[in-house]
Structure 1
């Protein structure tokens, strides 16, 4: 960081009077803070890293108090950085302002293969943290496992299930799968079936694998009771809210536990969604013919459910967590355990080829022609929603889960909020405005919008709102500053 950039950060702090997801302040007027480990861990465990600024006292309304000794402070901060595993390598910047000295420590984000970064004094389980808003929160055991699973390439979908036997499988379905595998593959066809079972991970050391149970068992829930889909219809727009159709005060209009193998759960979920959607007859303006149109495009719904079934986390950490489908009055949410896998980010979905969490399950379903396994699901969802003239879907990578939100009737997530927008065409920006209640960087906004170009995201979605005074800049006199944050009041 240049000295000019540090001055900009100090100026910004005096304006917004708050910390952010990648900015922490410490007083250090009377000495070095004794425990920086949580922040060092949380900043290191996020892609963009973070910055600690010493010399600003949050307890005094972000008063600029300066630091006691820049040389000694750097030494002591670095000592704490060396107590991290792997060691953190900060980049320091020192400036003088109004006869006070300030120090910044830039903490780089660790590569995903080195995470979680943790304090050695507490160990991996208790010393790993993540940044949530402006606070450092302990990383869950599952969060720690997720990094380890990616780093070591665990294949949870082919772990052995001791209780399962080959005789307990649906033999006709297994035979169908083997025949499809052999089709147009003369070399594979020449291999005995017993060898194919091991080769294609139906068995592993003559034991039945998890993927086999989920695809070929007549009732996988006998082994994993919670690996199902819980589907509900809620009368209002929030869980627990009673809307117009809930006149008797009922919590759910419809509520179903959907079980079976992956294919059967997909079929059951589609039947549930279809019967709980409105269906209206319209005249196609291009053909002049009458057509039935549902609240949501069934193609988009199917792809979202398939993605949840194929890409959810199937590790022992999530065996007690079902997939959830909730149909609200204004939207549908499909939520599966396990966030995005590997390096891919929300803004890259449908644009780059991701790592596959469950490659064997994906391959089996491709062979059975249930899914294409061509990474076309997200583009298909987006295209189907566009053709229906509905808002683009929202994809959220939350702590330990992934959520797809589909909106109906052209209403966005926060269209019922009074955000000072002029007309219905502005409603698509309302969720961005609420997102910016916490000051955001250009990159954070770009990822939130699900776009790949930061420049396009800012010019198209943010600057028009800045021009209207709805979103503000923390450094308005330097709009192109790399330290610029955007916020709404």
Structure 2
């Protein structure tokens, strides 16, 4: 047991007590909270403010250890069996109470009952669990996956079932997987549908895969100006089957990041500034591992410096951040995870984080950041602030529409000629993309009406794209001269 690990300060997994409180309930909350989350250590004999090792007197040491064992046995339901041992540090003895993440959740204080005595660990404190958290703990303890439960009253129409089967086959083909005919019998085997007394019953997973039945099953996508959420440039709210949300969310990101090109001999090669594989993995993981008992939505946010994907729900069933980063995985939504596997959306469990890291490294990007909170998990993929390629330009959603209507930009470069005013406008907007027509006219020294006429022409050519409102928006320049 490394001293610098357990004596460097309180955390989600460490709590100090100078002495044992007279009322056992004051520290039983911590024991229960550790068992309900990722486990932890309660250390008696350390000052929680100064981290100074005070120690426990030897003449009361074993009495204190017996008292802790009895209090845990008498106070906690279901039974918690901690490991209680003395440890000598700097010539002083402390008592270390180690509690593992429990499998028979939820754990609670017998005197308060389940509703008022269930605690969880949040950062460095033990807090009372809300009803929805208690429900999730109950399902963890019963090894039940919410998405495999019956969706009471949800119909199973033939056309919706056939479409789901066809889409699974389509995804398999797109992923290069073996041809495999999918029908309702296989959906039953995969626990997406259930049979009861001759009737087909839908599971929650079936509803999520065929409709927008649940109001929380949405992906909110947005582009922000700068590095915070102060100013929206664009936003979308995606609904429908979750696999279509994934496709549309990936497309949204690709439309709103830069696409660059290099010329290799006579061949033009295009590459997005962020690896599409990592973008796809981030969004798939968010849907696969989200907490479906939390009515928040998945959020995909694009900032000037990063892509950020946030999913509701912290780590599942005692899984630690360190375990996640080392490739370990616990499946929260078994039905959805199985279908995603059948579709080729996921490969080996626990490999998603590694693929994101590898893709970022291959692109020469900063190391992605993974943040775990009590009720959410966030992945941040950082954009390269310096040009990576010989030619780079912003695409944005509007400019993607221009690409489709007028063809590749490389062809335009060879066909059009700009006048001096248009070239000056482009040069100034590359320096400051928020300049108004009046300010451009003042800088160039011509009438603003002339500026507006030239801007209109540049917009028609697809060289200038306007994003956002007239007051807070900005200009995107797709070509440089």
Tell me whether the two structures share a fold, i.e. TM-score over 0.5: yes
Counterparts of residues 74-93 of structure 1 (less than 5 Å): 74-82=65-73, 83-85=75-77, 86-93=79-86
Q: Distance in 1 between matches of 2:191 and 2:69?
A: 49
Structure 2: how far apart are the matches of 1:95 and 1:371? Answer: 47
- The count of residues paired between Structure 1 and Structure 2 equals 373
Call closer, same or farther: CA 1:391–1:166 in 2, change over 3 Å.
same
Q: Is this contact kept in 2: 1:235–1:253, CA < 8 A?
A: yes
Query: Where do 1:221-236 residues align within 5 Å?
Result: 221=212, 223-236=213-226
* Alignment-derived partner of residue 37 in structure 1: 28
Once the 2 structures are TM-superposed, how far is the Cα of residue 391 of structure 1 from its aligned partner?
Answer: 1.9
Alignment partner of 2:309: what SS? strand
In structure 2, relative to structure 1, the CA distance for the partners of 1:391 and 1:31 (3 Å cut) is: same
Aligned counterpart for 1:148 among listed residues 131, 138, 147: 138
Structure 1 residue 291: Cα displacement: 3.0
User: Pick from 172, 176, 179: which aligns with 2:166?
Assistant: 176
1:405 is displaced (CA, Å) by: 1.2
| Residue of structure 2 in register with 1:207 after alignment | 201
Aligned to 1:400: 375
- Tell me the CA shift for residue 92 of structure 1: 4.2
1:388 is displaced (CA, Å) by 1.0
RMSD: 4.0
Partner of 1:298: 276
Task: Provide the rounded CA distance (Å) in 2 between the counterparts of 1:96 and 1:280.
Answer: 58
> In the alignment, what sits opposite 1:281?
261
Distance 1:20 1:164, change over 3 A: closer
Secondary structure of the structure 2 residue equivalent to 1:305: helix
Q: Mind listing any 5+ residue stretches in structure 2 that lack a counterpart?
A: 387-481
Contact 1:339 1:400 in 2 (8 A): yes
Report the equivalent of 1:339: 314
Q: Secondary structure at the match of 2:99?
A: coil
Pairs within 5 Å for 1:318-329: 318=294, 320-329=295-304
Match of 2:286 in 1: 308
SS at match of 2:236: strand
Alignment of 1:227-246 (within 5 A): 227-240=217-230
What is the CA distance between 1:301 and its match in structure 2?
A: 0.4
Distance 1:310 1:63 in 2: 44
- 390-399 or 70-79, which moves further after superposition? 70-79
Question: 336, 347, 357: which one pairs with 2:332?
Answer: 357
Find the residue that maps to 1:396 and give its secondary structure: strand
Structure 1: segments with no counterpart, 5+ residues: 241-250, 412-489
Contact 1:390 1:409 in 2 (8 A): yes
Contact 1:43/1:107 (8 A) holds in 2: no
| Alignment check: 8 A CA contact 1:237 1:328 kept | yes
Matches of 1:25 and 1:78, distance apart in 2: 17
Partner of 1:139: 129
Residues 428-463 of structure 1 show CA distances to partners (whole Å, capped at 9, x for unaligned) of: xxxxxxxxxxxxxxxxxxxxxxxxxxxxxxxxxxxx
Residue matched to 1:448:
none
Q: Which has the larger radius of gyration?
A: 2
TM-score by length of 1: 0.64
